[in-house]
């Protein structure tokens, strides 16, 4: 049976699925580039925005409810 070959989602390099330690990425660098894209909202799952809370908190409270 031949090894499964996939493309890295970031750089499109071919890699062997079984031996890739950062799968589905080819390297930690590509994994971190992808994570950065999600954190900077360059990538997102399509859908509706979350509704705004009805009672927004106006004051920050301390650990035991202190103001």
Residue 27 lies inside a defined structural domain of this protein? yes
In a domain, 22, yes or no: yes
Domain that holds residue 12: 5-39
Residue 27 and residue 48: Cα distance in Å, rounded? 33
Distance CA(39)–CA(7), nearest Å, equals 22
Produce one character per residue of 11-35: b if its CB has 16 or more CB atoms within 10 Å, e if not: eeeebeeeeeeeeebbbeebbeebe
**Residue range 1-51, pLDDT digits in tens:** 677 899 999 999 999 988 889 999 999 999 999 999 999 989 888 888 878
Return the CATH number at 16: 3.30.50.10
**What is the predicted pLDDT for the residue at 67?**
57
Could you give the residue ranges of the DSSP H alpha helices within 1-67? 28-39
Overall domain count for the chain: 1
Using DSSP, state whether 39 is helix, strand or coil: helix
Whether residue 59 is contained in a domain is answered as: no
């Amino acid at each position: 049976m031949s090894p499964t070959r996939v493309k890295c989602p970031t750089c499109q390099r071919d890699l062997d699925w079984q031996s890739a330690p950062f799968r589905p990425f080819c390297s930690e660098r590509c994994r971190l580039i992808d994570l950065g894209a999600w954190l900077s909202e360059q990538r997102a799952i399509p859908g509706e925005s979350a509704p705004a809370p009805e009672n927004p908190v106006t004051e920050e409270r301390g650990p035991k409810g202190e103001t």
